[in-house]
Amino acid sequence: MAFKKTTQKVDINKRKIINGEDADVVQLYPIKHTFAWEAYNAANANHWLPTEISMQNDIEEWKSTKVLSHDERTALKIVLGFFTTADSIAANNIVLGFYRHITSPECRLYLLRQGYEEAIHTHSYQYIVESLRLNESEIFNMYRENQAIYNKDAFILSFNEGILNPHFKTGTVESDQKFLENIIIASIIMEGIFFYSSFAVMFGFQRQNKLMGSAEQIQYIMRDESMHLNFGINLVNTIKEEQPELWSKEFQSHAIDLIKTGVELECTFATEVFPKGIFGLNADNFRQYIQHIADRRLARIGLSEQYRSPNPFPWMSEAIDLNKEKNFFETRVIEYQTGGTLEW
């Protein structure tokens, strides 16, 4: 795009999520995609850092032979093994993929914040690993050793690579559908489904009053991730409005197939890593839960529900699905908002 000297102002009607006019510099105003501006402000208000959370009790519990069973220790390690990869894949996708092709300045502004949050999440796993003195290379290399984690990551990366390719450009129906497919892969499946059995396990610890410091960090991460998912859903729905030709019947059934494949990969992950179940949650519970949340994601982007499974973990909906992003951790939000107005 040529950068020329002109008094002609940006035309908001030409602003689009992809293939818009204003890709050279960020002229934030006039804001068209208000969902992105709202997400950016909400994310700032939710700011947190892992090192603010005390890990002292977790350290004692991990050292003790009486608090955690062998299966619980294994579960924590596998969950961390998956999480460490998920957030770095997400970060690469944002910085090397989404940011290059999304032309809405307000969406790009949120993506900058989202990328930082993925870094905070990776920091959080490092902080847990270091506090508990886990074997770092065991956790961080697990995605290459554990088949179920490998399969989930390989699935995401096989689609990701298309838009991360330096020669990839939006602008044709085929390439725009490829980009849309990648939002479904990265936001709906990765951030909206692949995190969730692991979130359930961490909530399991919390419900047993164990590893509360680690669980609290994952709770903050869950709050961030539910916003990332929401943003991804808004991207999909806005692109559908701006370029309705992309949302063909064929593409819709392709999107359903992708989400169904994601559900199977997540169910396999949950049954393989928790073969005997954990905290009284068995493989069937995990399957129902994953199908239940997949239906919710499908409905949010206007696709038909595929499973109609009941929600076996209602305590998860209370914690995550109620859209409490803005007031979930009220005290901390207020602390940061006050921090922002300090006199320097």
Distance CA 134, CA 295 (A): 36
Question: Closest Cα partner for 26 from 114, 113, 112, 108?
Answer: 108
- Considering the complex, what minimum distance in angstroms separates the CB of residue 226 from Fe ion? 9
In the complex with Fe ion, the residue whose CB is nearer, 55 or 190, is: 190
Q: List the one residue from 90, 201, 270, 278 that touches Fe ion (CB under 5 A).
A: 90
- Considering the complex, what minimum distance in angstroms separates the CB of residue 228 from Fe ion? 4
Size of the site for Fe ion (CB under 5 A): 4
Distance CA 136, CA 213 (A): 19
Contact 53, 213 (CB under 8 A): yes
DSSP letters spanning 7-55: -PPP-GGG--SBS-S--SS---PSP--HHHHHHHHHHHHT---GGGS--
Nearest to Fe ion by Cβ — which residue?
Answer: 228
150 carries an active-site annotation:
no
- Considering the complex, what minimum distance in angstroms separates the CB of residue 191 from Fe ion? 5
Distance CA 122, CA 80 (A): 10
Distance CA 292, CA 263 (A): 10
**Per CB under 5 A, 228 contacts Fe ion:** yes
- Considering the complex, what minimum distance in angstroms separates the CB of residue 86 from Fe ion? 8
In the complex with Fe ion, the residue whose CB is nearer, 90 or 316, is: 90
Distance CA 39, CA 337 (A): 16
Distance CA 167, CA 26 (A): 23
Contact positions with Fe ion (CB under 5 A) in 260-279: none
C-alpha to C-alpha distances, 271 to 8, 103, 235, 282, 283, nearest whole angstrom: 59, 41, 32, 8, 5
Catalytic pick from 127, 143, 196, 289?
127
- Considering the complex, what minimum distance in angstroms separates the CB of residue 169 from Fe ion? 25
Residues facing residue 18 across a β-bridge: 102
In the complex with Fe ion, the residue whose CB is nearer, 86 or 263, is: 86
Per-residue contact track with Fe ion, 173 to 212, x per CB under 5 A? ------------------x---------------------
Q: Using the rule CB under 5 A, give the single segment among 42-50, 134-142, 156-164, 224-232 that binds Fe ion.
A: 224-232
**Per CB under 5 A, 223 contacts Fe ion:** no
In the complex with Fe ion, the residue whose CB is nearer, 44 or 248, is: 44
In the complex with Fe ion, the residue whose CB is nearer, 225 or 325, is: 225
Q: Known catalytic residues? A: 127
Name the residues that contact Fe ion, by CB under 5 A: 90, 191, 225, 228
